[in-house]
Structure 1
Amino acid sequence: MSVLRSVVLGTGSCLPERVVTNAALAERVETSDEWIVQRTGIRQRHIAAAGETTSVLGARAARAALDAAGLGPGDIDLVICATSTPDHTFPATATQIQAALGIDRGAAFDLQAVCAGFVFGVSTADKFLVTGAARRALVIGAETFSRIVDWEDRTTCVLFGDGAGAVVLEAREEAGARGVLSAALRSDGRYREKLYVDGGPGSTGTTGRLRMEGREVFRFAVGQVADVIAEALERAGATAADLDWFVPHQANRRIIEASADKIGIPRDKIVMTVDRHGNTSAASIPLALDAACRDGRIRAGDLVMIEAIGGGFSWGAALIRW
């Protein structure tokens, strides 16, 4: 019996040209390449140039995803942009991407779940597609975190980078198990002070700067992310042993490896890009997905788990048959 599922047709990504190495950061704040690599696994990150806004990066990634899917703007009737660094308070960055691509039908809106935004975006798009509310969706994760980090705070400025990634999803009648199989999403606003931005239009009238309690985030991430991974697997009737690839939020190598170890996912099944991208928040998973698709690791039929945790806290996981 066939089932209507949200199937991935293509992926795309965009990284700013400017690369900032750990050595370059060490000239600005008291840190070192050894210190950063040992604690995070990050060796470099991309930083957006003047004029490279979140929507600019997002539109480039979306075009690449459309090209990979063999589709054009007229084929899309839903655009979701997961971002914590929108171009403007309003209108939504997704509408700016929609306009840049020449999409003139359907809905476009932003989704804010910080680093977990792309997982939330995929799950949201899936609900539109399997209910018939939309036929094809662009789900984009795009960020310019370099504009909200405190470049004097060495504990946070070394972690983040800019970029965008995108996937095209289509509602298809599938006789097999291809497509988005399950998702598990969580939020708990009691942990706001652990990872947040200390400003906003409704509070201070300013953009604010990112603040984080690193040890607390690490502890919470390893414990809670494993639970949503297990739930997503259970809902799909799968186990960790069934996974071909684990594509986590690229925040910190130690968090990624500890989470995989806890759920029983072999490290050779982890797609890791944190070393060259840094933490690009909602963009990190689609950037990693695109890298693994283009280098041939992720192939048709593979079972892929994506997961992330972000400020709030908000966290989630989704299981996709490629």
Structure 2
Amino acid sequence: MNSPSGPSTGRVAVVCGVGGYVPPGIVTNEDLTARLDTSDEWIRTRTGIAARHVIDPGTATSDLAVEAGRRALKSAGDSQADAVVLATTTPDQPCPATAPHVAAQLGLTGAAAFDVSAVCSGFLYGLAAASGLIASGTAERVLLIAADAFTTIIDPDERTTAVIFADGAGAVVLRAGTADEPGAVGRIVLGSDGEHHDLIEVPAGGSRQRSSGIPPEPGEEFFRMRGRDTYRMAVERMTAVSQQAVESAGWHMEDVDRLAAHQANARILTAVGDRLGIPDERRLSNIERVGNTGAASIPLLLAQAAEEGRLTAGHRVLLTAFGGGLAWGSTALVWPDVAA
């Protein structure tokens, strides 16, 4: 689906602030090898991860989201927003949505607030929703947060997922502006394929399992992923949707200064970058030190790269993601002059 960046008036969403947050707890590969049948070499070779941040007991997704949101608002130089959009797979509870609580914690009581669920593609789906609020005139300023406490749905004894997933949050502030400004969000290309919903899932806990009257099997409350099939689909879809986004922006692939892809694992990132023909030095990555943070991975990557000087004003940035659903998305924009 090609989502136009704005109506004929030219009113579009413009990035004016960015922030990221990871909890202080760190789990290294050495920590995992002490209790799992794995090794540092095995983890690094297959995922590219050396360490990941994890929440402390009692910490929730909203806590991560509030901190990232606060940092993004500070970056934007204004603590106000008309709407809060939260992309997450791990809400604080099934009902109500987590976004209103996050908004209240940030002093934004009264602002429109809702959750978006698109797993690892959540930030781009949330970006489409937030851009639509601005393009329609519903909001002048939107705080978009992506946050996941992914370790709360991971089986700690399942080697294939426990070594990959981590906790974190990232956020951007969007304001109404024009398409010719740096930071203007371009067309957002989105897609899904529900025929393969079982590649990435948490089988138990939803209405289908609960209405069956059959207790879940042990382990069905945890996240599951069929790695080999997911790898193939992720590479194919992220490559194709990235090409569409670059074409929609009127660019050629060699025009892309920075690729900011969902930090799924190092093998997927390498395969997508190679297929797109984007050199290593133009690929942003933080997976080695933060792992796969779900919906948070792209905005967290943008915040860290901007803070470290790897992403600067004027860079032409390609964003792309793939996640459960299956769902995927991509967009392109010129990075603005913002301080993370």
Normalised by the size of structure 2, how large is the TM-score?
Answer: 0.91
Aligned-pair RMSD on alpha carbons? 1.6
Q: CA deviation at 1:296?
A: 1.7
Kindly provide the CA deviation profile for residues 130-167 of structure 1, in whole angstroms up to 9, marking residues without a partner as x: 22111111111100111111111111111100011100
1:68 maps onto 2:75 in alignment: yes
Kindly provide the CA deviation profile for residues 224-273 of structure 1, in whole angstroms up to 9, marking residues without a partner as x: 11111011111111111111111110010110111011111111111101
Unaligned residue ranges in structure 1 (runs of 5+): none
**Structure 1: distance between partners of 2:313 and 2:256:** 13
Judge conservation of contact 1:148–1:208 (CA < 8 Å) in 2. Answer: yes
Q: Quote the residue 2:273 is aligned against.
A: 260
Change (3 A) 1:178 1:284: closer
Question: After the TM superposition, which of the residue ranges 237-246 and 176-185 deviates more from structure 2?
Answer: 176-185
1:9 maps onto 2:22 in alignment: no
Alignment of 1:81-160 (within 5 A): 81-160=86-165
Q: Quote the residue 2:239 is aligned against.
A: 226
Judge conservation of contact 1:182–1:233 (CA < 8 Å) in 2. Answer: no
Q: Quote the residue 1:204 is aligned against.
A: 209
1:236 maps onto 2:249 in alignment: yes
SS at match of 2:230: helix
Change (3 A) 1:231 1:151: same
Q: What amino acid does structure 2 have at the position aligned with 1:182?
A: R
Judge conservation of contact 2:169–2:300 (CA < 8 Å) in 1. Answer: yes
**Structure 1: distance between partners of 2:60 and 2:251:** 40
Unaligned residue ranges in structure 2 (runs of 5+): 1-7, 211-215, 336-340
**Structure 2: distance between partners of 1:175 and 1:151:** 47
Judge conservation of contact 1:2–1:176 (CA < 8 Å) in 2. Answer: no
Judge conservation of contact 2:179–2:185 (CA < 8 Å) in 1. Answer: no
**Structure 2: distance between partners of 1:178 and 1:53:** 31
SS at match of 1:85: coil
Q: CA deviation at 1:125?
A: 0.8
Normalised by the size of structure 1, how large is the TM-score?
Answer: 0.96
**Structure 2: distance between partners of 1:272 and 1:224:** 19
SS at match of 2:206: coil
SS at match of 1:308: strand
- Aligned-pair identity in percent equals 43
Q: CA deviation at 1:5?
A: 2.2
**Structure 2: distance between partners of 1:14 and 1:204:** 34
**Structure 2: distance between partners of 1:53 and 1:240:** 39
Q: What amino acid does structure 2 have at the position aligned with 1:102?
A: G
Any runs of at least 4 consecutive aligned residues in structure 1 with deviations exceeding 6 A, and if so which?
Answer: none
1:304 maps onto 2:304 in alignment: no
1:273 maps onto 2:278 in alignment: no
**Structure 2: distance between partners of 1:174 and 1:190:** 36
Judge conservation of contact 2:103–2:111 (CA < 8 Å) in 1. Answer: no
Q: Quote the residue 1:186 is aligned against.
A: 191
Change (3 A) 1:179 1:166: same
**Structure 2: distance between partners of 1:147 and 1:2:** 44
Question: After the TM superposition, which of the residue ranges 305-314 and 195-204 deviates more from structure 2?
Answer: 195-204
**Structure 2: distance between partners of 1:154 and 1:227:** 30
**Structure 1: distance between partners of 2:9 and 2:316:** 19
**Structure 1: distance between partners of 2:195 and 2:35:** 34
Question: After the TM superposition, which of the residue ranges 261-270 and 293-302 deviates more from structure 2?
Answer: 293-302
Kindly provide the CA deviation profile for residues 79-105 of structure 1, in whole angstroms up to 9, marking residues without a partner as x: 110000000111111111101001023
**Structure 2: distance between partners of 1:166 and 1:52:** 18
Judge conservation of contact 1:57–1:164 (CA < 8 Å) in 2. Answer: yes
Q: CA deviation at 1:177?
A: 5.8
Q: CA deviation at 1:51?
A: 2.2
